[in-house]
Amino acid sequence: MSGRRIGVYVCQCGGNISDHVSVEDVVAAVQEEPDVVVARTAMFTCSDATQQEIIKDIEEQKLDGIVVASCSPKLHTFTFREMSKRAGLNPYEYTQVNIREQCSWTHTDDKAGATEKAARLVRAGIARTRLTEPLEPIVVQTVPRVVVIGGGIAGLRAALGSAEIGLPVFLVEKGARLGGWVGEFDGMYPHGKNGRQLMNALVARVRRHPGIKVFLNAEVVEKSGSFGNYEVAIRVKRDSAETQAETVAETVRVQAGSVIVATGFDAYPVSDGEFGYGLEGVLTLPEFKRLVDAAAGPLEFDGRPVRSIVYIYCVGSRQPEGNQYCSRYCCTAAVHASLLVTARGAQSGGEEGRAAGGAVRPRAAGGPPRQYHLYRDIRSYGKYELLYNESREKGALYLRFPDDDPPVVERAAAAGAGGSGYRLTVTTRDLLTGGEELTIPADLVVLVTGMVPRENDELVKVLKLPVGNDGFFNEIHPKLRPVETVVDGVFICGACQSPKNSAEAVTSGLAAVTQSAAMLKRGFAELDPLIAVVDAEKCEWCGACLAACPYEAPRQVEVDGKAVAFIDKATCKGCGGCVPVCPTDAIDLQGYTDAQIRAMIAGLLQELTLCRA
Amino acid sequence: MSGMKYDALVVGGGIGGMESALKLGDMGYKVLLVEKDSSVGGKMILLSKVFPTLDCASCISTPKMGATVHHPNITVLTYSEVESIRRDGAGGFHVQIRRKARFVDEEACTGCRQCEMVCNVAVPDEFNAGLVSRRAAYIPFPQAVPKKAVLERAGTSPCTAACPAGIKAHGYIALVRSGQYEKAFELVCEATPLVGSLGRACYAPCEAECTRGGLEGPVSIRRLKRFIADTHYAKGRGPVDVPPSNGKKVAIVGSGPAGLTAAWHLARKGYEVTIFEAASQPGGMLRLALPPYRLPNEVVDEDVANVTEIGVKIVTDRRVDDLEALRAEGYDAVLLAIGTHQATKLRVPGEDLAGVMRAADFLKAAKLGEELDVAEKRVVVIGGGNVAVDVARTALRHGASAVQVVSLESYEHMPAHPQEIAEAEAEGVTFRDSCGVAWFEGDDAVRGVELMRCVSVYDDKGRFSPQYAEGTVGSLPCDAVVVAAGMRPDSGAFGLPVNASGTVQVDKATLQTSLPHVFAAGDVVLGPSMITSAAGQGRRAAFMIDRWLQGEELDPEAFDGPLPTVDKNAVLARQVTHSELRPHDARENVALAPGEFYEDEETMTEEEALYSASRCLDCGVCSECRECVAICPADCIDLQMKGSEVEAEVGAVILATGFTLFAADAKPQYGFGCYKNVITGMQMDRLLAPTRPYNAVLRPGDGKIPGSIAYVLCTGSRDETVGNPLCSKICCMYSIKQNQLIMGALPLADVTVYYMDIRSVGKGYDEFYEQAKAMGATFVRGRISEITEKEDGNLIVAYEDIDNGGGMAQAEHDLVVLAVGVQPGGDVGRMFPEGGPSLDKYFYVGEADEDLDPGRTDMPGVFVAGAAAGAKDIPDSILHAGAAVAQAAAYLEKAGVTI
C-alpha cells in the first residue's frame, strides 16, 4: 500500500477492444489491487461524457492517480492529460495503457489470452502510477520567426501567409530563382491561370513584404537548439565579386521558432527506351507542356505540324515494380494539356479513322490534332471531372489498356504509317472496344509522367526528417497532424510530402503556416518534463551519457567543485539512452524511473487469477 | 444574449469546422462555432474506420470534439442555425443565430438517457443511417459532445392540435402502442376526466385531421380512448390521493362536460369545489341527451366518479339563479356551466298539438327510462342537427314504424355529423331536406306536417333567417313529431349581459364575465357544441379561475401555447416507405333491430388497440406523452421551451458547412428504398462501425449474413442524369476501405466492385487499392445499368463487362452497396440576406483564386473550409481548413478587426 488513490478505466473502444478482450474481467482482476479506488469500463473513454465522469471521480473520490487502458498513447495521451488538468490533477499522474494496438487487435483469435494480457498490462500501469510524481512542463519562450525551405509555390505562399499574420520569415531557396515548377509553365488547370504570371506576381509580393528575407542559392546546413528556439544555419553561395567563376559560401545564422519544409518534387526520370523514350517525338509530360506553352498557334514539332498525339498514362506511377504510388496530378494535367492543344487550333493534316482491321488511318484534311489517351483509370477527381468531360466532348479518344499489357511505342516504318510520314506508332489493346489491338500512328507520344521525391539527403540529415517508403516526407498522422513531423516545430507541406497539384500544395503550405502559428503566436511552448535528470551526488562525470545522447543534451558542469553531468531540459527528448550507460546509476528518467519500470515488470509477472466479478 | 464579440465565426462543427476553430483558438483568436445538430462531429463521427490508415474514426474524432468544446477561446453553440450574416461597416460582420429549442435544459441535463429509455416514439436513427430507430427524446450517439438530450418536436401533431379539449391524442396513442394503458388514461385526464364519455360519444375532430386519413383511413383515435377508459374502469376503483385544500372555494353551476372538467382541474389544484346541478343526476347533456346506445349511464357514472373521488361535491336538484347568494355562501369564484336546456320554439300553427314533443324532453325521458309513445307510430323529427338524428334513432329503438327527419338545410349542409347520418340511414331513418314546417295538422293529436320549401337558411350576414318558396309542398302524414330545432341557454336569471342567442358574454380568451369573480364555460358560452369543446372550455376556465384567485394576470398566452401544427405533407414526405395498414374494421354501427339498446360498438380488444395505435405516423415526432418529463431526474425537460435568438459581432467568417450524401432513391433503377438489400455506403459504414447497430454485418432484408456483396461506384456522381457531372472523390476510397473491413468481418464473403475508374489519389491511396485487390476484392470495370430483386431478396445487377469483351452481363449478389456521392451541404445563400460569397455552378462555395488563395471566397472576410467548397476527403478537408484559417488570420491582422 502506497496510500495512493488510483482510478482505473478500461475502455471498450466501441467493440475495438471489447470484441476481443473481456473488459469486465479485466476490471474484476484489478479492482482489488491495493490503492485502486475506482475501476470501471466505458464504451468510449475518450468521449467527452466519460471524461466528465472521470473528472467527477477525481473530484469526489479525491483520486491522485489515473490509469486509462485503451488505445495507443500516440492517440490520447494529450486527451487525458488535458482532462486531468481540468480536474485539478497533475497531468503526469496519469498513465496510458495500450490494450488495443498491443493487445485486442493483435490477439483477435484468443479472447482468454488477450484478456489475461490486458489485465497484466493494466496492473503494470497501476504499478507505474503508484510511483508517479507531479511534474511541471518545461516552458520555453518561442521565437516568433519562421524558416521556410523551398521557393516554389508552396514555400512562397507559406512565407507570405506567415508574414501576413505577423510571423516574419527567412525563405531559403536552393536555386538561383524563386518560382519553382509553376513558374515554368503557362496555362494551368483547372482555371487556366498562367503559371509564369502567377508566380511573378507572387514573387513580387514576397519580395515586397518587409517581413520576408529571401536567401537564394542557399541551403539549411545546421539546426540546433530546441523547439521554439532553433538556431538555423543557412549557407549562401554568392558569386565572388572578383571572379564570376568562383563562388563563395557564407553562412548566416538565424533564430526561428519553426521550420516549414516545402522542397517540392522532381519529375519522374524516364529511362531511355521506356515506352520508346529516346525516339524522336517521344516526350515526357513536362517536355510536352513546354512545347504546348511555346506554341502560338497550331502545334508543331520539329518544324512539322502535329497531326496525331498519343498520351500514355501512369508512366512511372502505379507500377508493381518501382513507384507504386499514384502521382495524383498527372491525369488532369495531361487532359488539360490536350485541351490546350485543341484550343491552339486546326492543322492541315490527314483524316484519321478507325479501320476494322485495327490500324488507324490518317484523315484527309483539317481539324486539330487527333489525340489518343491510353490510360488505366482517369483520375480527374472532384471538379476536375469537368475537364475530362470537355476533352471527350471535343473529340479526344480515350482507350483503356490492360494493367498488365502496356502500349508499345515504335518508330514508324520508313515510309511512315500509310505513307503519310508519321514518325511513330503506338500499339495497344483497348478494353473499351472489346480488347481489340490497335496500332495508332503518331507525330508525338506523350509519356504522362508523375512526381518523384527530390534528392534531399543533406536536408533530411540536418532536420532529421522522417522519410516514408515512397521516398516522400512523412507527417505524424494524415488526419490528426497532417503537416507536423516527429521533429517538434518542423513542418512539411507541398509535394515534398506526397504528389499534389499546385492549388493543393498551396493549401497544405497555408495549413503549415496555421500549425506553426498556432504554436508560435502564444509566445511560449510547453515541453514534456519526461526527461533525464542527474543525481549530482552519484555522478562521477565520465562522459558516457554525452556519448550515448543523440541530441547532445548532457554537458559537464561543476557542482561544489566536482565535475558532474547536467542535462539541458529543452534539448533532452527523454529517450532514456543515457540511463543504462551510466556506471553509477546517477541518471533517472522522470516519468519512467527505474523504480517505476521495476514495479511495472513486477506487475506484469505477478500471479494473476481471472474470474468474473 | 446579444452583443457578443468574437474574432471569427465558424459555421459548422464537422471536421473542417472543428479544425478551423481549434487552430484559430490556438492562435489566440476568440471563436464562435455554430453547429446545427445537437452534437459536434459532423460526418466523420459516423464512420467506422478511415482510409488509408484504417484508424478508428471515433478515436480520432472524439478528442477533437472534446478539445473544441473545452477550448478556452472557443464558444460552441450546438442545435443552432445561423440566420443571417451582414456586414457591419467596420470590416466585420453582424451575425444572428437561432438557438433551436432542445426542450431540454442544456445546463441541467446530465446525459443519463432516462428520457430516451421511456420515450414511446421511434424514428429512424440518423446516426445509424436509418438502419435502426432512435427515440424522439434522444442523445444522438454515445460519443456526442455535448452529451445532452434533445427532444425532437416537428410541431404539434394534427390530432392533438384538433382536439378542442386539449387532449394529447398523439400522446395516448403512443402510450397505448407501448402497452401503457393506465398511463394513457392518466394522460387523457390531464385534459379532462370524461375519458369514458369522450371515448364513446366524441365526434373525434382528431380523426378528421389524422394524416393517415389521407392514406388508408385515419387511426381510430376515439375508439382507442374508449379502450383506455374501459380498461381502466374494468379494474375498479382504488384509493386515490385527495389533494390538500388550499382554502379557497369555487362554485360551479352545472355538471355537464364543462362543469365537470373545470371542477376536476380546480380540485386537483386544491380548491374546494362544489357543483350545483338542477337535474336529479349529474352529467348534464351526457346524462340527459345522449342516447344510451351511444353513451350508457354507467359510463357517465364512472366519469363523474373521477371527479367526486378527489373531493368535488355535487349537489343535485339545486338550480342556481342568484350569484350573490353563492358569494354569500363563501365561494371565492363561480363558474357558470349551465349548458343549453331551453328548446327553441318553431312558432308555427299546431305546435301545441298532442304528439308534438320537444327533443330535450324526448331524449331525457328515453335516457331516464320513461315510456315514450312512439311504438308502431310514424314519427317525424324536425331539425337537421345531431340531436335530431339522436331522436330519430332513439325513436326507432322505441318501436317507431317509420322515422323521417326534416331539415331546413340541404342534405349536404345538414349540421349533423355525417357518420351519424350514415348510421341513421343504415338503420332505416329517411331524410327530407330543404324543408321547413308551415303548420302541424290535426285536431287533438298531430296527424301530419305541412312543409314549405326552404331556399336559404342564413342571411348574407350569416344570421339564421330561413327563406321559403311561395306556398307549401305537401304534407307528411305522421302520428308523432319531435321538434329538435335548436337549444339555447337558460341564462336570463343571472343578470349578466347576454348575446341574442342567449349565450353569456365573456372575454373569449379568459372566459371571464362582466363580474370579475364569475366565469362561464361550455355551451352557455358557445351555444350548442360538442362534448369535447365544452370540456376544453372547462379546462380553460379552471386555468383562468386559478390564476385569478392566485392574483396572477389572466394571460391567454400562458394557456397551452402549442407549437405550430406539423404540415401533413411534410409528414408524408419523410416516410421513406410505409406498410399498407388498413384501419381496423369498425363493427356495424347500426342497431340490428328496433328496440335494441345495447351499445352499437364494442370495446376494442387489446390486439386491435395495439394494431390501431401502431398505425400512427407520429406526425409531430414527440407525442407529448410526458413520460420523459415524469422520469427526468434533473427535471430539465420543458415541452413549452422556446428557441432563442442570439446576436454576435465577428471579425471574420469561416463557412464549414460540409456536404450531404446523394439521396440514393433519386436513382430509381438501383431500387434503393424498394429493395431492402440495397443499402448506401454510409449504411455499410455503420454496419462495420464499432458502434454498429446489429453487432454483425448482415443484410437488412432478412438478417442473413451476406456471402456476396456488390459495390456500385459513382452512384449520383459523374452522372448528368441526376444533374451532377462531378466526381465525388471519396466514394472509391471509402468503398475500398469497406472492402477491406468486410473481408476482415466476413472472411467468407465475396466482394465485387463495379466501377468506371478507380480514383485512389492521395498519399498511400493507390497502395491501399492494391492491398484490397490482394486481399481478394474483385474489381469489375463496368457501370451498373439496373438492379432487380429476386424473390429471396437477392439482387441481379446488369452491367457492361468491359474487361471481357464489353457485352452486357448479369450477376447475382446478396447485398448491394451504393457508393453514393456528395452534394453541397448547408444553405449558405440563405445565411447572407444582403448578398454573400458567390457559389459555383454546383452550389459549392466558390473560391475566388483557388490557385493562390484556397479557402478565400470573393467576399472579403468570408472564408470556406473543407467540403463546403467541393468534395474532399478528411485529410484534404483538414488541410483546407488549415488554409482557410491562415487566410482568416491574415484578414484579421490586416483589417485590424481583432478584439
Cβ distance B759 to A377 less than 8 Å, yes or no, reads yes
Cβ distance B689 to A14 less than 8 Å, yes or no, reads yes
Q: Report domain extents, chain A.
A: 6-135, 146-264+454-525, 268-442, 530-590
Tell me the HSE value of A418 on the side-chain side, using a 13 A CA sphere.
18
* DSSP reduced 3-state for B146: coil
Parallel, antiparallel, or unpaired for β B356-358 and B480-483?
Answer: parallel
Position B1 scores a pLDDT of 44
Residues of B in contact with A198 (CB under 8 A): 851-852
Residue A399: strand pairing partners: A374
* DSSP reduced 3-state for B889: helix
Position A595 scores a pLDDT of 94
Nearest neighbour of B727 by CB, restricted to A48, A51, A382:
A382
Answer for the pair B705, B746: CB distance below 8 angstroms, yes or no.
Answer: yes
Inform me whether the C-beta atom of residue A384 falls under 8 Å from chain B C-beta atoms: yes
| Long-range CB contacts for residues B576-582, cutoff 8 Å, separation at least 24 | B576/B124, B576/B130, B576/B665, B576/B673, B577/B673, B577/B674, B578/B215, B578/B617, B580/B216, B581/B216, B581/B611, B581/B614, B581/B615, B582/B216, B582/B217
A306: left (phi over 0), alpha (psi -120 to 50) or beta: beta
Cβ distance B63 to A76 less than 8 Å, yes or no, reads yes
A204 burial via Cβ count (<10 Å: 0-12, 13-18, 19+): exposed
Answer for the pair A495, A154: CB distance below 8 angstroms, yes or no.
Answer: yes
Closest alpha carbon to B403 in B428, B432, B439, B426:
B428
ipTM, two decimals? 0.88
Position B579 scores a pLDDT of 75
Peptide bond into A453 cis (omega under 30): no
Nearest neighbour of A326 by CB, restricted to B111, B142, B761:
B761
Domain A146-264+454-525 bears CATH identifier 3.90.1860.10:
no
Residue linked to cell 456586414: B87
Position A352 scores a pLDDT of 45
Answer for the pair B898, B29: CB distance below 8 angstroms, yes or no.
Answer: yes
pLDDT means over runs of 10, chain B (899 residues): 82 97 96 97 94 89 90 96 93 95 92 93 93 95 91 96 96 96 97 96 93 91 96 92 93 96 97 95 91 88 96 94 89 94 86 90 84 88 91 90 93 88 89 92 90 90 86 90 88 85 92 94 92 96 96 89 92 79 63 57 90 95 96 92 94 97 94 94 94 90 95 96 95 97 93 96 95 96 94 96 88 97 90 95 94 95 96 96 97 69
Answer for the pair B296, B479: CB distance below 8 angstroms, yes or no.
Answer: no
Answer for the pair A495, A265: CB distance below 8 angstroms, yes or no.
Answer: yes
C-beta neighbour count of A576 within 10 angstroms: 17
Among A153, A205, A323, A377, most B C-beta atoms within 10 A, so best to mutate, is A377
Per-residue cell: B497: 349581459
Parallel, antiparallel, or unpaired for β B862-864 and B678-680?
Answer: unpaired
Nearest neighbour of A165 by CB, restricted to B142, B879, B889:
B889
Scan residues 424-443 of A and list those with Cβ closer than 8 Å to B: 431-435
Inform me whether the C-beta atom of residue B62 falls under 8 Å from chain A C-beta atoms: yes
Domain A530-590 bears CATH identifier 3.30.70.20:
yes
Per-residue cell: B39: 452534437
C-beta neighbour count of A426 within 10 angstroms: 27
Inform me whether the C-beta atom of residue B878 falls under 8 Å from chain A C-beta atoms: yes
B1 burial via Cβ count (<10 Å: 0-12, 13-18, 19+): exposed
Position A346 scores a pLDDT of 66
Inform me whether the C-beta atom of residue B839 falls under 8 Å from chain A C-beta atoms: no
Among B51, B722, B879, most A C-beta atoms within 10 A, so best to mutate, is B879
Nearest neighbour of B871 by CB, restricted to A76, A378, A382:
A382
* DSSP reduced 3-state for B286: helix
Nearest neighbour of B874 by CB, restricted to A385, A479, A503:
A479
Write the CA distances from A520 to A188, A223, B26, integer angstroms: 35, 18, 9
Residues of B in contact with A512 (CB under 8 A): 882
Inform me whether the C-beta atom of residue B765 falls under 8 Å from chain A C-beta atoms: yes
Scan residues 493-512 of A and list those with Cβ closer than 8 Å to B: 497-498, 502-504, 506-512
Parallel, antiparallel, or unpaired for β A554-559 and A351-354?
Answer: unpaired
Residues of B in contact with A515 (CB under 8 A): 23, 882
- Tell me the C-alpha distance between A305 and A348, whole Å: 8
Nearest neighbour of B762 by CB, restricted to A46, A328, A512:
A328
pLDDT in tens, A444-458: 999 999 999 999 999
Per-residue cell: B359: 327533443
Parallel, antiparallel, or unpaired for β B333-336 and B249-253?
Answer: parallel
C-beta neighbour count of B401 within 10 angstroms: 15
Among B113, B128, B692, B851, most A C-beta atoms within 10 A, so best to mutate, is B851
Answer for the pair B264, B252: CB distance below 8 angstroms, yes or no.
Answer: no
* DSSP reduced 3-state for B431: strand
Write the CA distances from A337 to A274, A296, A388, B298, integer angstroms: 22, 14, 11, 91
Residue linked to cell 484534404: B876
Residue B753 phi, psi dihedral angles, 5° rounding: -110, 120
Inform me whether the C-beta atom of residue B761 falls under 8 Å from chain A C-beta atoms: yes
Position B578 scores a pLDDT of 65
Residues of B in contact with A494 (CB under 8 A): none
Residues in chain A with pLDDT < 50? 348-358, 361-365, 417, 613
- Tell me the C-alpha distance between B656 and B866, whole Å: 6
Inform me whether the C-beta atom of residue B757 falls under 8 Å from chain A C-beta atoms: yes
Residues of A in contact with B144 (CB under 8 A): 47-49
Position B322 scores a pLDDT of 87
- Domain A6-135, CATH: 3.40.50
Cβ distance A82 to B70 less than 8 Å, yes or no, reads yes
